[in-house]
Structure 1
Amino acid sequence: MKSSLAGLGAAIYSSSLVRPPPFHGRVSARFVAVREMSTSCTSFSTRVFQLRRDPLTGDSEWIVVEEGGEGEGGEGKHGAKCLLATTSYLDMLNDSCRNRAFRAAIEKTIKGPCHVLDIGAGTGLLSMLAARTMEKFGESSVATVSACESYLPMGKLMRRVLRGNKMEKKIKVFHKRSDELVVGVDLKSRAAVLVSEILDSELLGEGLIPTLQHAHDMLLIKNPQTVPYCATTYGQLVESPYLQKLQDLFHGEANLSDGVHLTCPGLEGIMGIKKQQYAMHCDAMFNDLRLLSEPFKVFEFDFWKRPESHGEIKISVKASSEGNANAVISWWVVQLDYEGSVVYTTAPRWITRTDDIKEATCVPDAKDWCDHWKQCVWFIPGPGLPVSKDENVVFNATHDETKISYHLKCDNSLIYSNTYGDCRLELSPERIALYGDRDWRSGLMTAMRNILHAQSSQFCVVADDSVFLTILTACLSKNATIVSSFPGLQEKGEKYLQAVANANGFSMDRIKVMGMRSPNLAKNNLIQRKVDLLVGEPFYYGTEGALPWQNLRFWKERTLLDSVLSEDVIVMPFKGVLKVCAMSLPDLWRSRCCLENVEGFDHSVVNETLGACGNLPRMIEGPCLPYYVWQCGEVQELSGVLPLMEFDFANPIHSCSGKTKMWFSKPGLCHGFVLWIDWVMDEKGSVVMSAGPASRYQKQGVKLLSQPFNVNTTDCFVEIEASFDHSSGEITVSSFFSPLQSGS
């Protein structure tokens, strides 16, 4: 049996790309499509192998999604339903302003029967809009809509949507990447109109440029019509101590005196972030910003012609205020039709609409919060770039096939451009800020001092990816022997420690980095004596954006090492406490609520698969999803914070459950519950590290209700139950409102 591997994404992605965008950025899991030839060599079937990570072990496994079985769910034995629930498809389809804009532009663009190509078709909305537009011109043999969607589970879901809207005979679906389509084989002819929405917050990150290049070369007629028609990116210089903390650990540590050095002179950038734009809800941090310039235009992209792979522009910006520029905040404006009457922008709310879009339709306003498109932040390294009022700040902007970069000449740029090789650790901005947070570091230092004082014999295992705890233990105890598992960082973590060892006053002779998971540490007798201390933050590299209880992997690691733990072993954290708070989350709830009529097309069939959380039948529960709650638009607490369940790390991992009765502290519309884990670091409970909404650097879990509830009196209460399955690492949450509670 022969097979061939198809690459990532629904559009063309070259193997040379530095940052290949998976599934147009809307699907978090990885997949590989395999087309298998039957023994007759005349027919093909398609399977998708989808990568799924076990939250308790960190192991990844390839699950098979079969092409067959397009009935309810249609996800096969292992299914992709839970993975599709974590994508932004639902949020995107709930963006009514976006949907109206594409409908208006498609109706203006299509002037008669023609061949329309939809790349990255998703649920098929744009394809159906195009087919419906052509219906008013009458039947024609040359009227065709071709929909390309390479991600098989989404393609199967699209077929269900098409059938539900009686559109399956009007739209031909291809489960392929666009660069796999061949005119004369798949497509009868080149397309006259391209409709496609493969835009991310940065504009280019979903493979827009290579997709358009191939389409213009191989799939479209000369001078085609396109929706969108063109796009322009904009930027603005800002000062923000908050944004500085997200990337400048060196100067953050300079303000501390705790004796732990994750960076040091000469190695200022040895721990930092990747040099790229980061999508963020900048409106949520407006009070932490000072605007230092007016908006400036960066790049213009024409979709109706073949784009260039690379571009560079010199920008001169007049500073409107004196300050220290810490970042460039950027956004885009897309003109969807030729005339420029239909426009969509991702600009933050403080931006006054420019003259060219004031008269356009479908421009989002302040109430149109969405999560699938945000603003982007490009960090200026170190303490930033000092600017004076009315000074002309000159810098370059460049783009390649997938990203836009800014190049500002600031005094500290040289030390941050050093090449550290394999020694440099690149972490998320939130993790960098957490490592520089005075209170967070002080809490861990206090807990470790108490533990080391109580434990005379010190053979310590760091069971996660915490370089901080490894360095802290070595600094606080001059005779401790330390084994760091570093399951994610692996050898890179060891090289980093070697680079900063002298600055922290310890020798690597006392530290052994295994670079492997706990089962291997125990089974291979790599630990030669009983472990006195088992510690973790907990933190696992690469899972910063996951649900908070995925850090319960620490409990699993502790259990796998049970055979090498001493009888009086001290485990830190000592326990975890799942906390809960009832909240009003109207913006988030709207973005995740069930779909019904989307621009005249029934989308109700997608709700369960895409993890809809609102307007579900009461017996169907939506998933818990990870969010930075402080960035979720309008947010209001309606209750106090209560403990819901405890995880006892002193004993091996086991299933557990808990429940609480929560009284509301104020009236309002309750949309769901926010959950997180407070890590109790010692047995006395003197040090507690909370990952709640007050922390801007860690995500919480959000459980939205199937129906929001109107809390019209503080005499109402809700009973909440939660259970933890130790075999899967999943937590299920259910709630029961008191009879006094009235629904909305």
Structure 2
Amino acid sequence: MFSSSSSLACKTFFSSSSLFKLPLQRFLLTFIRRMSSDSTQQCMFQLKLNPLTGNSEWVVIKEEEEEEVENAFLPKSHFSSTSYLDMLNDSPRNQAFRQAIEKTITKPCHVLDIGAGTGLLSMMAARTMLFYDEADKGMVSACESYLPMVKLMRKVLHLNGLEKKIRIFNKRSDELQVGVDLASRADVLVSEILDSELLGEGLIPTLQHAHEKLLVENPQTVPYRAITYGQLVESKYLWKLHDLHNNEAQVVDGLHLTPSGLETLICVKLQQYAMHCDAISEDIRLLSEPFKIFEFDFWKRPDSHGETELQISTITDGRVQAVVSWWVLQLDREGTIFYSTAPQWISSHNNSDVNWCDHWKQCVWFVPGLGVSVSKDEEVHLQAVHDDTSISYNLESGNQRAEPVLLDVNSRGYRLTLSPERIAMYGDREWRYTMFSAMRDALQGKVCRVCLVADDSVFLTILIAHLSTSSRVISLFPGLQEKGTQYLQSVANANGFSMDRVKVLGKKRTCLTMEDTDGEKVDLLVGEPFYYGSEGMLPWQSLRFWKARTMLDSVLSEDAIIMPCKGILKACAMSLPDLWKSRSYLTKIEGFNHSVVNATLGACGNDQDSHKGPCLPYFIWQCGEMKKLSEIVAVMEFDFSKPISQCFGKTKVVFDTTGLCHGFALWIDWVMDAKCSTVLSTGPDCRYYKQGVKLLSKPVAVGTNAVCSPGECYSAELDTSFNPSDGELTVNISFNNEKTNL
């Protein structure tokens, strides 16, 4: 049974059994046994990924070393990519919990905080009990399984003088035992173990165990209950994110990634996807009023399985292509304190303050295929089902029923699950035409006996086999591996090629020998670049292609074509007030000093050097309020005709719009051919890619030559360097207020 006692951030670390392979497991067991012989020593594990090789290694940090490494790049870089800072900057959330805790705790009692994080809710509970007589009879037990966060919590409690009022347990909540850890069952439960879907962090199993083993009968809880809501919508953009088969039917390149009869061979996972729906509100048509789906009471033991049947009346004609959902927390028993993750079109209708935050978004459930066609005032039957960690839907209207199409893996092929953005890209007519044209031009007039696909692009593998019937195609598929082989076998006939011309190595390696190529040199080396499972990483971490090209140098012919031939790092100055606020420096949160966590969490502000902040991956278009303040500039070039090497770049950015600069968006444009006639951009104008965002420590007022004010800066200089050993990009930024000569 899974029980969460920390935020989603810890799921990728030591407690996740999915990360372990047998040799690593043996090593860890040996190490733990050795460490356990000295009961005074403790350790934590950090998983370090080298994005240029795709390899990971465990780094062990002993307790006596933690003080030295606490502000080092490894823990800090991990913390800065989590949602801790964003959550702590969510003032409506913090205020709602504080008000509900003060209202709920009316006397000294035993309070249990599950998933305590920095200890904010624990401190609220402890402070509330200080106002009552016999406050010493109250106690707060804070449960947090993630050791680095426990270290931060201890610092926060000490800074606020509450370290003696709160007892910390560095355990998962389902490891706690009354009579061993806890002196008694708790009277009050305070917790915030919610994700955008509500259930994804293990809310149900955590509450089940708590009610069975840790809480008194009929306990008080904050929150008191949560209610999920939904709305039927039509959206061409959301449809493109999952229905590859019907989208590629509109493309005339002759390729079939999802042939007839194998419509769901490439698909997205059947789940809800967290998304800032306000950012695509112009692409959404509302087909129903909001409707209530599930209600979860925190004050009683929840069920693992639940179903509800709803009849929903449509408000206009259209095609139901998605269900947009959100939740509302009722934090107190009386129902006077609420917190909502509803989209802006709901919040503004209710005259609620619009609160942008990145840790909680709306969720989208894709209706399979083309969706369900409806007329105004038609009744749509919706079945909603939840298990321990997720919610799913089935829709039916008239004779139409939209439910997942299951694939018989044994008889009809292999299902390949990709991210929604990758699905949309593979179905995008313009993107496919660009790739088709670039590859056709490269193969035209040149005999390419051996073509090597260095990344996980099934599209390029099929495209080359389709365009050049005389070429042998070798695909590395470092992430897909055997999945890629099974997929190609399923679509070979539909695309007119034989598998005897296509070879998948099926191993995680980039250093090949002539034996792998059957004694022939590689004439064409290509990549999108795309690496399966790495879609959420920083743009320049796809320079793994450059690393692979370098390792493959010995098998390349002298005149081998390399596509893309180079990458160009681009940048644009941005106004991003919502994103910056969510990452800003913490002082007091509802009266509790949190300044000691800023360095570790990578906060902006407090006069820190601008280059010290982390560079994090975001979909710029989902970052709330945004505005471009400059033209796009080229910062640095990566030449793939040469082996990977350290690179430096320096460029001047001249502002062409007045505003407040919060940082710079950075991305890579992939130049496919030597003539630079075909360029694939991963910039903010394309919704399918994440960009790197370098936030400033303090926003800078900027102006233009034409419109100037005292104190405004008119240009900035970006000084960048790329380290080929670890794939890190360093960005230093300086501003000046001298006008630029036009």
Q: What is the TM-score when the length of structure 1 is the normalising length? A: 0.93
> Counterpart of 2:736 in structure 1: which amino acid?
S
2:202 is aligned with 1:202: no
Q: Is the 8 A contact 1:521 1:527 kept in 2?
A: no
Q: 2:667 aligns with which of 665, 668, 676?
A: 676
Q: 1:542 aligns with which of 521, 533, 542?
A: 533
Q: Distance in 2 between the 1:39 and 1:458 partners?
A: 56
Q: 2:614 aligns with which of 607, 618, 623?
A: 623
Q: Which residue of 1 aligns with 2:242?
A: 247
Q: Distance in 2 between the 1:491 and 1:635 partners?
A: 42
> Per-residue deviation at 1:260?
1.1
Q: Which residue of 2 aligns with 1:17?
A: none
Q: Is the 8 A contact 2:85 2:603 kept in 1?
A: yes
Q: 2:8 aligns with which of 22, 25, 33?
A: 25
Unaligned runs of 5+ in 1: 1-6, 12-22
Gap change, CA 1:79 and 1:618, over 3 Å in 2: closer
Q: Distance in 2 between the 1:40 and 1:525 partners?
A: 46
2:700 is aligned with 1:702: no
Q: 1:180 aligns with which of 167, 175, 182?
A: 175
Q: Which residue of 2 aligns with 1:397?
A: 384
3-state SS of the aligned residue for 1:32?
coil
Q: 2:546 aligns with which of 545, 555, 559?
A: 555
Q: Which residue of 2 aligns with 1:370?
A: 357
Q: Which residue of 2 aligns with 1:215?
A: 210
> Per-residue deviation at 1:712?
3.2
Q: Distance in 2 between the 1:72 and 1:142 partners?
A: 38
Q: Is the 8 A contact 1:452 1:458 kept in 2?
A: no
Q: Distance in 1 between the 2:505 and 2:282 partners?
A: 44
> Counterpart of 2:362 in structure 1: which amino acid?
Q
Q: 1:729 aligns with which of 722, 727, 730?
A: 727
Q: Distance in 2 between the 1:200 and 1:70 partners?
A: 29
Q: Distance in 2 between the 1:207 and 1:260 partners?
A: 42
Q: Distance in 2 between the 1:324 and 1:690 partners?
A: 32
Deviations 1:59-95 (A, max 9, x none): 12122233444536637x8842211110000000000
> Counterpart of 2:394 in structure 1: which amino acid?
H
3-state SS of the aligned residue for 2:92?
helix
Gap change, CA 1:674 and 1:454, over 3 Å in 2: farther
2:51 is aligned with 1:43: no
2:46 is aligned with 1:57: no
Structural mapping, 1:354-433, within 5 Å: 365-366=353-354, 368-409=355-396, 411=400, 413=402, 416-420=405-409, 423-433=414-424
Gap change, CA 1:624 and 1:166, over 3 Å in 2: same
> Counterpart of 2:495 in structure 1: which amino acid?
N
Q: Is the 8 A contact 1:269 1:424 kept in 2?
A: yes
Q: Which residue of 2 aligns with 1:19?
A: none
> Per-residue deviation at 1:413?
4.2
Q: Distance in 2 between the 1:119 and 1:705 partners?
A: 34
2:295 is aligned with 1:300: yes
Q: Distance in 2 between the 1:414 and 1:593 partners?
A: 43
Greater shift, 270-279 or 519-528, is seen at: 519-528
Q: 1:170 aligns with which of 165, 170, 183?
A: 165
> Counterpart of 2:317 in structure 1: which amino acid?
E
Q: Distance in 2 between the 1:466 and 1:42 partners?
A: 49
Q: Which residue of 2 aligns with 1:3?
A: none
3-state SS of the aligned residue for 1:554?
helix
Deviations 1:586-612 (A, max 9, x none): 111101111111111111111111111
Unaligned runs of 5+ in 2: 17-27, 707-713
Q: Is the 8 A contact 1:558 1:652 kept in 2?
A: yes
Deviations 1:410-455 (A, max 9, x none): 7474783333467111001011001111111111111101111143
> Per-residue deviation at 1:713?
3.3
Deviations 1:140-167 (A, max 9, x none): 4431111111011111111111111111
> Counterpart of 1:296 in structure 2: which amino acid?
F
Moved over 6 A (4+): 37-42
Q: Is the 8 A contact 1:38 1:44 kept in 2?
A: no
> Counterpart of 1:297 in structure 2: which amino acid?
K
> Counterpart of 1:144 in structure 2: which amino acid?
M
Q: Distance in 1 between the 2:607 and 2:389 partners?
A: 38
Structural mapping, 1:215-614, within 5 Å: 215-351=210-346, 365-366=353-354, 368-409=355-396, 411=400, 413=402, 416-420=405-409, 423-522=414-513, 525=516, 528-614=519-605
Q: Which residue of 1 aligns with 2:67?
A: 71
Q: Distance in 2 between the 1:83 and 1:490 partners?
A: 28
Q: Distance in 2 between the 1:40 and 1:472 partners?
A: 55
Structural mapping, 1:98-117, within 5 Å: 98-117=93-112
Q: Is the 8 A contact 1:522 1:560 kept in 2?
A: no
Q: Is the 8 A contact 2:347 2:353 kept in 1?
A: no
Q: Distance in 1 between the 2:431 and 2:653 partners?
A: 29
Gap change, CA 1:620 and 1:592, over 3 Å in 2: same
> Per-residue deviation at 1:617?
1.7
Q: Distance in 2 between the 1:25 and 1:302 partners?
A: 22
Q: Distance in 2 between the 1:371 and 1:558 partners?
A: 36
> Per-residue deviation at 1:614?
3.3
Q: Is the 8 A contact 1:518 1:561 kept in 2?
A: no
Q: Distance in 1 between the 2:125 and 2:558 partners?
A: 70
3-state SS of the aligned residue for 1:707?
strand
Gap change, CA 1:399 and 1:39, over 3 Å in 2: closer
Q: Distance in 1 between the 2:525 and 2:531 partners?
A: 15
Gap change, CA 1:454 and 1:641, over 3 Å in 2: farther
Q: Is the 8 A contact 2:145 2:172 kept in 1?
A: yes
Q: Which residue of 2 aligns with 1:720?
A: 718
> Counterpart of 1:685 in structure 2: which amino acid?
C
The sequence identity of aligned pairs, in percent, is: 60
Gap change, CA 1:484 and 1:412, over 3 Å in 2: farther
Taking only aligned residues, the RMSD between alpha carbons, in angstroms, comes to 2.1
3-state SS of the aligned residue for 1:679?
strand
> Per-residue deviation at 1:616?
4.2
3-state SS of the aligned residue for 1:350?
helix
Deviations 1:33-52 (A, max 9, x none): 98946799793644333333
> Counterpart of 1:404 in structure 2: which amino acid?
I
3-state SS of the aligned residue for 2:183?
coil
> Counterpart of 2:524 in structure 1: which amino acid?
L
Gap change, CA 1:38 and 1:571, over 3 Å in 2: closer
Gap change, CA 1:40 and 1:457, over 3 Å in 2: closer
Q: Distance in 2 between the 1:182 and 1:647 partners?
A: 56
3-state SS of the aligned residue for 1:261?
coil
